[in-house]
């Protein structure tokens, strides 16, 4: 997955839930690390970075210190739908597509899974609400499932919808 994303040359946030994510706290810690990794990886791209930091800093429950992103996981936590919406907004503002990947998403079960899958479904439903005048921009949320992998052994997307979304990146 990472090799394919790097070959596409598209900015991405990679959330790996192979780590033990059994609680909201664990999920938000993994999300914090993934967002921090994104900031470090794209630090040479000043416009992208400042837009992303500006948007993240305006979200309730998010603190950005340098290249470190801290997400509150308690009562004042940011809603995942809000994070995805702002991710899409900054993507459109810099005129570039971003990809937000949740790897091994089948591991998210129970109420935590319902929360994440609901946010992913919301992101898919809302990502095309506003037309992009330039024809560029807008985020993509991709999930990988071990049982229903979207990438085969040749690193090709198996799902025609995902394959088409990747071509548009």
The stretches in the chain having pLDDT less than 70 are 20, 126-169
Q: 35-64: per-residue pLDDT in tens?
A: 999 999 988 888 888 888 888 888 999 999
Q: What is the DSSP letter of 157?
A: B
- pLDDT computed for residue 75 by the predictor: 87
| CA–CA distance, 6 with 113 (Å, rounded to integer) | 28
- pLDDT computed for residue 59 by the predictor: 92
CATH of 2-167, one of 3.10.129.10, 3.40.50.300, 2.40.128.690, 3.20.20.370: 3.40.50.300
Mean pLDDT of the chain: 76
Pairing of strands 12-16, 97-103: parallel
> What is the pTM assigned to this prediction?
0.75
| CA–CA distance, 96 with 74 (Å, rounded to integer) | 32
Q: Quote the tokens at residue 54.
A: 């500006």
Q: Quote the tokens at residue 48.
A: 């992208």
Pairing of strands 68-71, 62-65: antiparallel
Domain ranges of the chain: 2-167
Q: 98-116: per-residue pLDDT in tens?
A: 788 888 888 888 888 888 8
Exposure of 27 in the CB half-sphere (CA atoms within 13 A): 24
| CA–CA distance, 19 with 21 (Å, rounded to integer) | 6
Give alpha helix (H) positions in the chain: 2-8, 24-41, 46-57, 80-93, 110-126, 160-167
| CA–CA distance, 35 with 29 (Å, rounded to integer) | 10
């Amino acid at each position: 997955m990472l090799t394919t994303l790097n070959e596409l040359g598209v900015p991405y946030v990679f959330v790996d839930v192979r780590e033990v994510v059994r609680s909201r706290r664990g999920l938000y810690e993994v999300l914090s690390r993934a967002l921090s990794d994104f900031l470090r990886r794209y630090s040479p791209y000043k416009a992208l970075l400042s837009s992303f930091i500006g948007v993240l800093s305006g979200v309730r429950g998010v603190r950005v210190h340098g290249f470190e992103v801290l997400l509150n996981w308690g009562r004042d936590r940011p809603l995942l739908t809000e994070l995805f919406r702002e991710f899409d907004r900054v993507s459109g503002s810099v005129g570039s597509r971003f990809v937000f990947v949740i790897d091994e998403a089948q591991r998210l079960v129970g109420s935590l899974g319902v929360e994440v899958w609901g946010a992913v479904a919301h992101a898919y439903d809302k990502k095309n609400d506003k037309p992009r005048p330039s024809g560029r921009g807008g985020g993509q949320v991709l999930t990988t499932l071990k049982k229903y992998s979207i990438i085969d052994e040749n690193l090709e997307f198996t799902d025609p919808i995902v394959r088409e979304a990747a071509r548009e990146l």
